[in-house]
Amino acid sequence: MEIKAVVGDIAAIKADALIVNHFQDKKQLSSDTAVVDRALDGAISQLIKQGDIRGKLNELTLVHSMGKLPADRIVITGLGKKQELTVNKVRNAVAETCRYLRKKGVTSIASGAQGAGIKGINKESAARAVTEGALLGLYTFRRYITKKENDLGKIKKLLIVGSEREKPLLESAINRGRIMAEAANWARDMVNEPSNYMTPGHMADAARQLAQKYGLQVEVLEKEQMAELGMGGLLGVAQGSQQPPKFIIMNYKGRDADEIDIALVGKGITFDSGGISIKPSEAMADMKGDMAGGASVMATLIAMAQLKPRINVTALVPATENLPSGTALKPGDILTAMNGRTIEVLNTDAEGRLILADALSYTKKLGAKSIIDVATLTGACMVALGKICTGVFSNNQELADKVIAAGDETGEFAWQLPMYEEYREQLKSDIADIKNIGNRYGGAITAAKFLEEFVNKTPWVHLDIAGTYETDKEKGYLVKGATGIPVRTLVNLVLSLAK
- Which residues are marked as active site? 279, 353
CA dist 76 → 17, 81, 283, 406 (Å): 11, 15, 39, 30
CA dist 260 → 253, 378, 434, 466 (Å): 9, 28, 29, 27
CA distance 488 to 130: 15
| Among the listed residues 276, 385, 372, the one whose alpha carbon sits nearest the alpha carbon of residue 331 | 276
CB 160 within 8 A of CB 193: no
CA distance 373 to 357: 11
Where b means 16+ CB within 10 Å and e means fewer, 296-315 reads: bbbbbbbbbbebebebbbbb
Residue 25 three-state SS: coil
At residue 149, φ and ψ (nearest 5 deg) are -70, -15
CA distance 201 to 291: 13
Query: Helix 200-214 vs helix 292-307: angle between axes, to the nearest 10 degrees?
Result: 0
CA dist 481 → 272, 274, 478 (Å): 17, 21, 8
CA dist 361 → 85, 272, 354, 419 (Å): 44, 22, 11, 20
415 contacts: CB under 8 Å, gap ≥ 6 = 385, 389, 390, 391, 392, 404
CA distance 329 to 96: 46
Task: Please give the helix or strand (H or E) that residue 369 lies within, else none.
Answer: none
Pairing of strands 390-394, 470-471: unpaired
3-state helix, strand, coil in the chain (%, to 5): 40, 20, 40
